[in-house]
Amino acid sequence: MAADGSVLVGRTEGVTSLQRFARRRSTIAFLMTLPLILVIGGLVAYPAVYAMYLSTLNRTMVRNIGLENFAILLDTDTFYMVILQSCIFAISAVLLKALIGFWLAHMLHDIPAKGQRKWRGMLLIPWVIPPALSTLGWWWMFDPSYSSINYLLNVFAVPSVPWLGEPWWARVSVIIVNVWYGAPFFMIMYLAALKSVPEQLYEAAAIDGATGFQRLRYITLPMMRNIISITVLFSLIVTFANYDIVRVLTNGGPRDLTHVFATYAFQVGILSGNVPRGAAVSLFMFPLLAIFAFFVLRGVTRRNKEEA
Amino acid sequence: MSTSTATREMPDIYHKAGSLSSERRWALWTAYISLIFAAIIFLAPPVYMFITSLKTSAEVANLTGSPWLVREPTLENYAAILGNPTFLVFFWNSVKITVCVVLITMVISTLAAFALARMRFWGSQALATGVFLTYLIPETLLFIPLYQIVGGLGLLNSSWGLVVVYPTLTVPFCTWIMIGYFASIPKELDEAALIDGASWSQMLLKIFIPVAMPGIIAATIFAFTVSWAAFVYPTAFVTTPDEMPLTIGVVSQLVRADTFAWGQIMAGALLAALPPVIVYAFLMDYYIAGLTAGATKG
């Protein structure tokens, strides 16, 4: 097709109707994508650049202080805890989500096809409820004096747990809620991937006498490798930048020990009114996210090429 | 896994067949046990929210007996929350914002996806990649500069400010999956239409949108759920209760109003979560198609 050169062709004198058509087509295409370009340019690209500029200003935003904000942040213990907590939170939550999701996807795949729909529908519910609202429910379940989880633990003679009151337990609670919310997503993605593995491969393996573990190791995992890495990386991005769960459940406490980047940026930038430093906190996420995003994109393009 | 050592030592075909069926039965049991266990844990929080919402404040505060049981179920919490004008304002704001955002999103992304899937032009490939990368940018990375920008437009503390920024959450993914759906429509269809003298707009309205209807429904559901559940932007940009959508309204106002009205808070949270759950219950297949399309279709 007269794809890339269409604009040039159209500009020459004495256009034939076909060339005029080509010119019109690229103009139309441009007009059709214009709103998209405006949204991406105005509300994503520009703010991204603006964030970098903001982060170099002082608190009152009148003076440029270079990288001072970043230096100050790296000087405080709280911020180190934020970095540490973000990493603990993202890595353990994603790992658990992926493992639970993988396991459940397999279990769903194992049961007869007509029952799958019902189970799948039920197990996806945590993902459907807006996380800010379901976290409210968790908060209530973790409530120190009325905790219904502790009640169940006590029934089994396990002592009560100070879910949100003690730093490590608060960290665990935040991870539990995130895993609860995110595991169904992994389950659905892996189930879709499992369904696309050709059944003949398993039949051939069964004839060759492969054990269940061998089938997993030599058929399922290689066939799903791409989708596993895409979902894990994608989830790392989302979990690393998570805000809702920490905000509702602990709001950063106890003693600022469960803050992740997003909640800390919110605390510094919006609640304390130091917009430039808040922007700097957010920007600390950027390098890691960029690396993850690069690999997601690579995985997706590779997948498209395989399918093409 | 249950292939016993005996069968492995005697690899004759008849034994294999027997072991396969016992392995199958064993796998089925593991599957059902795991699924039941997972379903209990996955459904416990919403169920417990529902249980709490049926209790009176006195019963919630009563520490004797199991918190998982309701002794005197009552609907007074629902009556109270539905009679609460603030809650109705939150609901109305959510509806208003979501409807606007879904409409804006679908117009923008259908047009763009059509252009990107069919009319290759200079930079179209880069733009498609850019769309996907934008989808990967979490909103928490940009909410501070957006706070300044929205403030500069004078739209802080206004639900219209949210209508302006929400498309950043919805447009990239919707465009991305629509490109996938449009690209899967056979080229012969549009060639036939061109020969019959159809214009681009006719092609889009009469061929692409009807044929890609499942994709459009999936994208609409996605846009709806995302803008209904959005939390970071409203928390950052809206502090007056009159302009708050449900998510932040329930979390900040109901909790702050009276810390011990747990029944009402839970009733409010459940009612707020209801629209996405209803959409999901009726359109589950589209919902899941939209969810998995991002990665499996590409």
* Nearest CA distance, A49 vs chain B (angstrom): 9
Q: How many domains are there within chain B?
A: 2
* Nearest CA distance, A229 vs chain B (angstrom): 11
Q: Using CB atoms, which residue from A50, A132, A301 is nearest to B247? A: A132
- Which value, in Å, is the radius of gyration of the alpha carbons in chain B? 26
Write the ipTM. 0.86
Tokens of A147: 């905790």
Q: Using CA atoms in the order A117, A118, A124, A129, what is the torsion angle rounded to 10 degrees?
A: 130
Pair B80, B49 in one domain: no
Q: Do B138 and A307 touch (CB under 8 A)?
A: no
Pair B99, B146 in one domain: yes
Residue B207 in contact with residue B118, Cβ under 8 Å?
no
* Nearest CA distance, A167 vs chain B (angstrom): 22
Pair B9, B133 in one domain: no
CATH number, position B194: 1.10.3720.10
Please report where in the chains the tokens 């209508």 appear, as a residue: B163
Please state the rounded mean pLDDT for residues B180-194.
87
Pair B47, B81 in one domain: no
Domain boundaries, chain A: 6-54, 74-307
Q: Do B171 and A285 touch (CB under 8 A)?
A: no
**A264/A272 Cα distance (integer angstroms):** 10
Please report where in the chains the tokens 């100050």 appear, as a residue: A72
How do the pLDDT tens digits run along chain A, 308 residues long? 434 444 444 444 555 666 666 567 778 888 888 999 999 999 999 999 999 888 888 888 788 888 888 888 888 888 998 999 999 999 999 999 999 999 999 899 888 888 888 898 899 999 999 999 999 999 989 988 888 888 888 889 888 888 888 888 999 999 999 999 999 999 999 998 888 888 888 889 888 888 878 888 888 888 888 888 888 888 998 999 899 999 988 887 788 888 999 999 999 988 888 889 989 999 988 888 888 888 888 887 787 777 65
Question: Residue A61: its pLDDT value, please?
Answer: 79
Residue B265: strand, helix, or coil: helix
Q: The domain containing residue B40 runs over which residues?
A: 5-53
> For the segment B193-249, what is each residue's pLDDT rounded down to a tens digit?
888 888 888 888 888 899 889 899 999 999 999 999 999 999 999 988 888 999 998
Please report where in the chains the tokens 């976290």 appear, as a residue: A135
Pair B80, B123 in one domain: yes
Pair B114, B256 in one domain: yes
Pair B47, B82 in one domain: no
From the number of C-beta atoms within 10 Å of its C-beta (0-12, 13-18, 19+), residue B133 rates as middle
**For residue B253, which of B90, B47, B32 has the smallest C-alpha distance?**
B90
Residue B37 lies in a domain: yes
Last residue of one domain, picked from the residues B53, B68, B86? B53
Nearest CA in chain A to B13: A207
Span A74-307: which CATH code?
Answer: 1.10.3720.10
Kindly write down the DSSP assignment for every residue of chain A, as one continuous string: ---TTHHHHHHSSS--HHHHHHHHHHHHHHHHHHHHHHHHIIIIIHHHHHHHHHTTB-TTSSSB-TTHHHHHHHH-HHHHHHHHHHHHHHHHHHHHHHHHHHHHHHHHHHS-HHHHHHHHHHHTHHHHS-HHHHHHHHHHHH-TTT-HHHHHHHHTTPPP--TTTSHHHHHHHHHHHHHHHHHHHHHHHHHHHHHTS-HHHHHHHHHTT--HHHHIIIIIHHHHHHHHHHHHHHHHHHHHT--HHHHHHTTT-STTTT--HHHHHHIIIIIS--HHHHHHHHHHHHHHHHHHHHHHHHHHHHHHHHH-
* Nearest CA distance, B286 vs chain A (angstrom): 12
Residue B215 lies in a domain: yes
From the number of C-beta atoms within 10 Å of its C-beta (0-12, 13-18, 19+), residue A162 rates as middle
pLDDT of B23 strictly over 80 = no
Nearest CA in chain A to B230: A130
**B206/B209 Cα distance (integer angstroms):** 7
> For the segment B98-149, what is each residue's pLDDT rounded down to a tens digit?
999 999 999 999 999 999 988 777 788 888 888 888 888 888 888 999 998 9
Residue B100 in contact with residue B108, Cβ under 8 Å?
no
Q: Do A293 and B136 touch (CB under 8 A)?
A: yes
Question: Residue B264: its pLDDT value, please?
Answer: 87
Residue B66 lies in a domain: no
From the number of C-beta atoms within 10 Å of its C-beta (0-12, 13-18, 19+), residue A264 rates as buried
Q: Do A209 and B280 touch (CB under 8 A)?
A: no
Nearest CA in chain A to B105: A36
Question: Residue A12: its pLDDT value, please?
Answer: 47
Q: Please report residues of B whose CB lies closer than 8 A to that of A233.
A: none
- Which value, in Å, is the radius of gyration of the alpha carbons in chain A? 25
The mean of the pLDDT values for chain B is 85
Q: Using CB atoms, which residue from A30, A35, A286 is nearest to B141? A: A286
Q: Please report residues of B whose CB lies closer than 8 A to that of A282.
A: 140-144
Residue B59 lies in a domain: no
Residue A267 in contact with residue A82, Cβ under 8 Å?
no
Confidence of residue B295 (pLDDT cuts 50, 70, 90): low
Pair B49, B93 in one domain: no
Q: Using CB atoms, which residue from B225, B231, B288 is nearest to A244? A: B231
Q: Do A100 and B109 touch (CB under 8 A)?
A: no
Q: Determine the residue type at A164.
A: L
Residue from B119, B195, B204, B239 whose CB has the most chain A CBs within 10 Å, to mutate: B119
Please state the rounded mean pLDDT for residues B77-92.
90
Q: What values do phi and psi take at A205, rounded to 5?
A: -65, -40
Q: Using CB atoms, which residue from B38, B127, B147 is nearest to A33? A: B127
- Measure the N-to-C terminal CA separation of chain A; round to a whole number of Å: 19
The residue with greater pLDDT, B23 or A292, is A292
**HSE (side-chain half, CA atoms, 13 Å) at A263:** 27
Residue B223 in contact with residue B106, Cβ under 8 Å?
yes
Q: Do A279 and B140 touch (CB under 8 A)?
A: no
List b or e across A1-34, with b for residues whose CB sees 16 or more CB atoms inside 10 angstroms: ebeeebeebbeeeeeeeebeebbebbebbbebbe
The residue with greater pLDDT, B292 or A124, is A124
Residue B32 lies in a domain: yes
Residue B228 lies in a domain: yes
**HSE (side-chain half, CA atoms, 13 Å) at A300:** 26
Pair B200, B87 in one domain: yes
Q: Using CB atoms, which residue from B236, B248, B272 is nearest to A266? A: B236
Pair B271, B159 in one domain: yes
Tokens of B79: 């009556």
Q: Do A104 and B171 touch (CB under 8 A)?
A: no
Residue A48 in contact with residue B142, Cβ under 8 Å?
yes
Tokens of A119: 């189970």
Question: Residue A176: its pLDDT value, please?
Answer: 94
Percent of chain B with pLDDT over 70: 90
**A19/A4 Cα distance (integer angstroms):** 13
Residue A281 in contact with residue A264, Cβ under 8 Å?
yes
Beta partners for residue A64, in sequence order: A57
Beta partners for residue A57, in sequence order: A64
Residue A59 in contact with residue A277, Cβ under 8 Å?
yes
**A233/A289 Cα distance (integer angstroms):** 9
Pair B86, B49 in one domain: no
**For residue B106, which of B219, B25, B237, B257 has the smallest C-alpha distance?**
B219
Residue B225 lies in a domain: yes
Residue A248 in contact with residue A135, Cβ under 8 Å?
yes
The residue with greater pLDDT, B255 or B214, is B214
Pair B25, B103 in one domain: no
Residue from A129, A227, A297 whose CB has the most chain B CBs within 10 Å, to mutate: A129
